[in-house]
């Protein structure tokens, strides 16, 4: 059985309800959600304690559900302000989840793969432009993409003569990507890139960092496949930006059970600096570039006022969203929406 929170800071709608079926889920995603619940109930998928990156073991529980109704205990660290899933699935459970359930859960079985591929090509061009406007990349650089999905993020670099390679745990998308462009993308983790015979000038983590089970191990492993002054590009849903600009100001839109970490730019900088990556550029979206560094921030040097800042942002956002919902319910109950529609 999954542990249940005693108190939810963000309110009753963030309580876990096993029987809840989100209207966001298509037929394939509903089947994946049922498989996930069955595996949790049977003990095939196991939960375990997840301490914060800063070393703290306790925190304030904000939510116990994600936007699809999956169990997701989002906890705010009172010490450094980082948000984390605690407890979270074990490493073995996550690996099976990513291989067999993750893409289905998030609607990919219900999506048009061709349309999705074209959409990700546009994302890739945007990311390429973002990176190259801020840092120079030598000709014929080595570019690795970890969590590459279909490999689309590598295409703009390949077309400009760079050596590219990528890895992802989803074999279906690796195979689909290879059929479209034939690039060096492989099913697996960074161990596949260690055998590429090259070290990276640039490593891409596009909406991957927030999935890391063990941040220390992952970033240390990434350092070993990078050149001494290699660059690291990280893109993830920034807590202080994403809710308003991507989720229509609904916090629930940010929450998904595959995200072990929810980070602002400040908390991401803290993590990367502690593990030997120096910030080059970043924004609150979050899109950030780091350079391998010989210096390491003391983990006790916490982000200033991060906990208070993040909690104030979340509570203010949720209060505003609740007022908006109340207003919409009043308008509907009073029939005002019909009058407005008639006069439109």
CB atoms inside a 10 Å sphere around CB 8:
20
Give the strand pairing for 163-168 and 142-146: parallel
pLDDT at 337: 54
pTM to 2 decimal places: 0.92
Backbone phi, psi, residue 64, to 5° = -125, 15
Residue 343 has pLDDT above 70, yes or no: no
In this predicted structure, what is the pLDDT of residue 155?
98
What's residue 5's pLDDT?
A: 38
Q: CA 148 to CA 200: how far, in whole Å?
A: 15
Q: Residues 59-64: what's their mean pLDDT?
A: 94
- In the predicted structure, residue 344 carries a pLDDT above the cut 80: no
The whole-angstrom separation of Cα 265 and Cα 269 is 6
Q: Which residues contact 97 (CB under 8 A, 6 or more apart)?
A: 36, 45, 89, 258
Average pLDDT over residues 185-192: 93
Q: Please tell me the predicted confidence (pLDDT) of residue 342.
A: 58
Q: Which is nearest to 249 in space by CA: 320, 312, 309?
A: 320
The pair of structure tokens assigned to 238 is: 């920034």
Q: Write b or e for each residue in 158-181: b if 16 or more Cβ atoms lie within 10 A of its Cβ, otherwise e.
A: beeebbbbbbbbbebbbebbeebb
Q: Is 261 exposed, middle or buried (0-12, 13-18, 19+ CB in 10 A)?
A: buried
Residue (of 24, 4, 29, 26) closest to 14 by Cα position: 4
Of 121, 147, 133, nearest in space to 210 by CA: 147
User: Six-digit token pair at 323?
Assistant: 């007022």
Q: Which residues, 6+ apart, have CB-to-CB distance to 234 below 8 Å?
A: 205, 209, 268, 272, 286, 287, 288, 289, 290
Q: What one-character-per-residue DSSP string does 115-130 give? A: HHHHHHHHHHHHHHHH
* CA 171 to each of CA 115, 204, 306: distance values in angstroms, whole numbers, following the listed order: 19, 19, 38
Sign of CA dihedral 222, 228, 230, 236: positive
> pLDDT tens digits, residue range 89-122?
999 999 899 888 888 888 877 788 899 999 999 9
Span 291-330, pLDDT tens digits: 999 899 999 999 999 999 999 999 999 999 999 988 888 7
Q: Is the CB of residue 280 less than 8 Å from the CB of residue 292?
A: no
Band the pLDDT of 341: cuts 50, 70, 90.
Answer: low
Percentage with pLDDT > 70 across the chain: 94
* Domain 115-292: CATH class, spelled out: alpha beta
pLDDT at 136: 94
């Amino acid at each position: 059985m999954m542990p249940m929170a005693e108190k939810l800071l963000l309110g009753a709608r963030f309580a876990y309800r096993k029987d809840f079926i989100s209207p966001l889920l298509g037929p394939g995603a509903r089947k994946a959600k049922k498989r996930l619940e069955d595996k949790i109930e049977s003990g095939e998928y196991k939960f375990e304690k997840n301490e914060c990156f800063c070393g703290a073991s306790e925190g304030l529980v904000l939510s116990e559900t994600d936007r699809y109704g999956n169990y997701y205990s989002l906890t705010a660290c009172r010490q450094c302000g980082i948000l984390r899933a605690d407890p979270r699935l074990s490493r073995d459970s996550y690996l099976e989840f990513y291989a067999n359930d993750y893409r289905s859960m998030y609607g990919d079985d219900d999506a048009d793969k061709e349309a999705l591929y074209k959409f990700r090509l546009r994302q890739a061009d945007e990311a390429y432009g973002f990176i190259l406007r801020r840092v120079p990349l030598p000709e014929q650089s080595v570019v690795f993409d970890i969590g590459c999905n279909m490999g689309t993020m590598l295409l703009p670099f390949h077309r400009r003569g760079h050596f590219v390679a990528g890895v992802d745990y989803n074999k279906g998308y690796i195979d689909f990507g290879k059929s479209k462009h034939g690039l060096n993308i492989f099913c697996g983790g960074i161990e596949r890139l260690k055998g590429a015979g090259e070290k990276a000038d640039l490593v891409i983590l596009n909406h991957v960092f927030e999935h890391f089970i063990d941040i220390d191990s992952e970033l240390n492993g990434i350092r070993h496949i990078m050149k001494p002054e290699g660059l690291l590009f990280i893109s993830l849903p920034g807590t202080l930006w994403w809710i308003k600009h991507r989720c229509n100001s609904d916090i629930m839109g940010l929450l998904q059970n595959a995200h072990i970490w929810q980070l602002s730019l400040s908390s991401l900088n803290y993590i990367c600096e502690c593990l030997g990556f120096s910030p080059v550029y970043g924004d609150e979206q979050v899109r950030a570039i780091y350079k391998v560094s010989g210096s390491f921030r003391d983990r006790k040097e916490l982000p200033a006022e991060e906990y208070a800042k993040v909690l104030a942002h979340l509570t203010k956002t949720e209060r505003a969203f609740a007022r908006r919902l109340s207003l919409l319910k009043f308008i509907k109950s009073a029939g005002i929406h019909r009058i407005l529609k008639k006069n439109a």
